[in-house]
């Protein structure tokens, strides 16, 4: 059965992508987002393909051939932006409609990633051709490039690093809505690990609870995943985020 959608994790292999920073590399984050989406589409029983599943180099010719020959109706090409901006950008072909890009941008916005713009772009010397090869050379597949946010914007970078699963999910939701395919949210036991239930009654002593709630009230900790994991260590990056927020608060 031909896939309806082919997901394209941008870059890969020798090409790390420009949307990288100290927290992540574009090629790794786009792969994580894409594999998450691929898995979710599988759960939703929607035939879906993917251009790469590993840290693999794909030339633009190889990539567009995979999309063109996939038999898919749509392609979502996942990217992380850079270059001074804030928020998501969704780019579509001059020959396509803005409907799916608009849905995607709204879904990302609902997950807390503001939308910067949705747009099309043509070759400077030929206004009949798309600027991006993913639009120009992917034949009749409707390809949408999703730039989830800016790696060089601290707010976006933090959001992408913490909530990439929610953003990836938002795109799936938007896609299903646009194509009238049945959507169900992920089960609690899905890719977002459930809060660990502690031995005993699972209740935290008050002093632990209070200290944790204080961190949330102060905005030092924002990811809800941590709230019920009083006895679990935070990854180093999360500690670094907390310390940086504290430092910035104290400096006023
Ligand atoms: Zn990119």
pLDDT tens track for 237-251: 888 888 888 888 888
Note whether 26 and 120 are same-domain residues: yes
187 in a structural domain: no
For 17, 88, 143, the CA distances from 132, given in Å and listed in that order, are 15, 17, 10
Q: Average pLDDT, stretch 6-29?
A: 97
Structure tokens at 53: 């599943």
Distance CA(136)–CA(124), nearest Å, equals 13
Note whether 51 and 114 are same-domain residues: yes
**pLDDT tens digits for range 72-97:** 999 999 999 999 999 999 999 999 99
- Residue 212 is predicted with a pLDDT of 83
- Residue 189 is predicted with a pLDDT of 52
Biggest distance spanned by C-alpha atoms of the chain: 69
* Of 154, 32, 137, 142, nearest in space to 91 by CA: 142
Q: Report the Cα 103 to chain-centroid distance in Å.
A: 15
CA of 78 to the centre of ligand 1 (A): 7
Note whether 162 and 217 are same-domain residues: no
Note whether 45 and 145 are same-domain residues: yes
CA of 111 to the centre of ligand 1 (A): 21
Structure tokens at 147: 């730039």
Task: Inform me whether the pLDDT recorded for 200 exceeds 50.
Answer: no
Note whether 228 and 172 are same-domain residues: no
Q: Are 38 and 7 in contact (CB under 8 A)?
A: yes
Q: Are 158 and 89 in contact (CB under 8 A)?
A: no
160 in a structural domain: yes
Neighbours of ion ligand 1 (CB under 5 A): 10, 17, 79
CA of 73 to the centre of ligand 1 (A): 22
| Domain end position, chosen among 179, 198, 221 | 179
Note whether 123 and 168 are same-domain residues: yes
CA of 174 to the centre of ligand 1 (A): 21
Note whether 225 and 121 are same-domain residues: no
CA of 10 to the centre of ligand 1 (A): 5
* Strand boundaries in the chain, DSSP class E: 5-9, 48-50, 74-81, 88-92, 115-119, 122-123, 126-130, 142-150
233 in a structural domain: yes
Note whether 23 and 104 are same-domain residues: yes
Note whether 20 and 145 are same-domain residues: yes
Distance CA(98)–CA(90), nearest Å, equals 9
Note whether 142 and 231 are same-domain residues: no
- Residue 88 is predicted with a pLDDT of 98
Confidence category of residue 199, pLDDT binned at 50, 70, 90: very low
Q: Quick one: what percent of the chain has pLDDT higher than 70?
A: 93
- Residue 187 is predicted with a pLDDT of 82
Distance CA(70)–CA(86), nearest Å, equals 33
| Domain end position, chosen among 179, 214, 230 | 179
Distance CA(156)–CA(81), nearest Å, equals 10
CATH of the domain at 139: 3.40.630.40
191 in a structural domain: no
Task: Inform me whether the pLDDT recorded for 65 exceeds 60.
Answer: yes
What is the residue-averaged pLDDT of the chain? 91
**pLDDT tens digits for range 102-160:** 999 999 999 999 999 999 999 999 999 999 999 999 999 999 999 999 999 999 999 99
Distance CA(46)–CA(199), nearest Å, equals 39
Long-range contacts (CB closer than 8 Å, 24 or more residues apart) made by 242-250: 242/215, 245/219, 245/220, 246/220, 249/218, 249/220
- Residue 245 is predicted with a pLDDT of 86
Note whether 64 and 165 are same-domain residues: yes
Note whether 238 and 120 are same-domain residues: no
Query: What is the number of structural domains in the chain?
Result: 2
Q: Quick one: what percent of the chain has pLDDT higher than 90?
A: 73
32 in a structural domain: yes
Task: Inform me whether the pLDDT recorded for 15 exceeds 90.
Answer: yes
Q: Which domain holds residue 160?
A: 5-179
CA of 176 to the centre of ligand 1 (A): 24
Model confidence, pTM: 0.75
Task: Inform me whether the pLDDT recorded for 204 exceeds 80.
Answer: no
């Amino acid at each position: 059965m031909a896939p309806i959608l082919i997901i394209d994790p941008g870059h890969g292999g020798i090409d790390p992508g420009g949307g990288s920073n100290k927290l992540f590399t574009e090629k790794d984050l786009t792969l994580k987002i894409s594999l998450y989406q691929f898995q979710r589409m599988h759960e939703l029983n929607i035939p879906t393909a993917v251009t790469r599943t590993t840290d693999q180099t794909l030339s633009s010719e190889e990539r567009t051939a995979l999309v063109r020959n996939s038999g898919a109706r749509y392609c979502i090409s996942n990217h992380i932006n850079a270059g001074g901006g804030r928020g998501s950008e969704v780019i579509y072909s001059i020959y396509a409609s803005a409907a799916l890009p608009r849905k995607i941008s709204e879904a990302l916005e609902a997950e807390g990633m503001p939308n910067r713009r949705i747009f099309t772009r043509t070759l400077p010397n030929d206004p009949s051709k798309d600027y991006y090869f993913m639009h120009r050379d992917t034949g009749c597949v409707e390809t949408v490039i999703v730039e989830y946010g800016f790696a060089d914007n601290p707010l976006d970078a933090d959001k992408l690093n913490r909530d990439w699963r929610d953003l990836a999910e938002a795109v799936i939701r938007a896609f299903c809505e646009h194509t009238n395919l049945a959507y169900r949210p992920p089960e609690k036991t899905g890719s977002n690990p459930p809060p660990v239930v502690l031995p005993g009654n699972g209740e935290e002593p008050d002093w632990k609870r209070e200290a944790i709630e204080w961190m949330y009230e102060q905005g030092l900790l924002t990811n809800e995943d941590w709230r019920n994991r009083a006895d679990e260590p935070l990854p180093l990056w999360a500690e670094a985020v907390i310390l940086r927020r504290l430092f910035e608060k104290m400096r006023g």
